[in-house]
Amino acid sequence: MGKISQGILGGLSGKVGNVIGGSWKGIDYLRIKPSSVANPRTEGQVNQRNKFTITLEYLQANKEFIKIGYKAFATKKTEFNAAMSYVLNNAVGGIAPNFTIDYANALLSRGSLSSALNPTTDITTPGQVSFAWDDNSAEGNANATDKAMVLVYNPSKKESIYILGGADREAGTQLLRIPNTYAGDTVELFMAFVTEDLKTVSNSVYLGSGTAAP
């Protein structure tokens, strides 16, 4: 039971109905107790949780990549939170409750640097993935010394293998070693570029999926 210590206009200590009173640093306060939620698992809430879960699963495997890829968006939030917001709003597809990540739109880096030109991959050799691209260092704001960022995401194992400061843009190729345990698994392939000082990145490019060679 609550107690009003100084009449109706005095301080309230405790609970009266749905009003809760107290004192903090000598200041009396009142607040309304929130009504209980009749159904905390509505269809909309369940769908939102499912979207959040698959996005979190995807991004947790790629958080080191994201630290560089979303650096420019880490204002009053972390790089990871910036990536969560972007992917949730732009790259979750499918039909409820079986939502999926739309990898083509699920950017792992976002920035103004020129992207890879005509990127390709080859996963036919066991234990490795090779990335290739055309040298476009004379175009736009690309630099010959921009570093390749390449990534192989394994959804079934919920993990990724990546290189964050790889070959120069002018080199045109990058080899990435992957575990032998990936053999036969479907993997998703991405790449981006970052300037030599790690300050500016390109949008990541989704290079499709494939089956890792046995």
Domains belonging to the chain, first-starting first, are 3-32 (no CATH), 43-211 (2.60.40.10)
- What's the average model confidence in pLDDT over 120-143? 97
Write the pLDDT tens digit of every residue in 145-159: 999 999 999 999 999
**Residue 41 burial (10 A CB sphere; 0-12, 13-18, 19+):** exposed
Instruction: Take residue 109 and report the two structure tokens written for it.
Output: 């880096």
Give per-residue burial for 82-106: e unless 16+ CB within 10 Å, then b. bbbebbbeebbeeeeeebebebeeb
Q: Does 20 have pLDDT greater than 80?
A: no
Write the pLDDT tens digit of every residue in 161-187: 999 999 999 999 999 999 999 999 999
Name the pLDDT band for 42 (thresholds 50, 70, 90): confident
Residue 146 corresponds to which amino acid?
A: D
- Report the alpha-carbon distance of residue 198 to residue 65 in Å, rounded: 12
pTM of the model: 0.79
The position carrying tokens 């010394």 is 145
Pairing between β-strand 19-24 and β-strand 27-32 as defined by DSSP bridges = antiparallel
Smallest CA-to-CA distance from 108 within 61, 141, 76 is with 61
Average pLDDT of the chain to the nearest whole number: 89
- Report the alpha-carbon distance of residue 84 to residue 189 in Å, rounded: 19
Write the pLDDT tens digit of every residue in 181-209: 999 999 999 999 999 999 999 999 999 99
**Structural contact between residues 146 and 137, judged by C-beta atoms closer than 8 angstroms:** yes
Residue percentage of the chain with pLDDT more than 70: 81
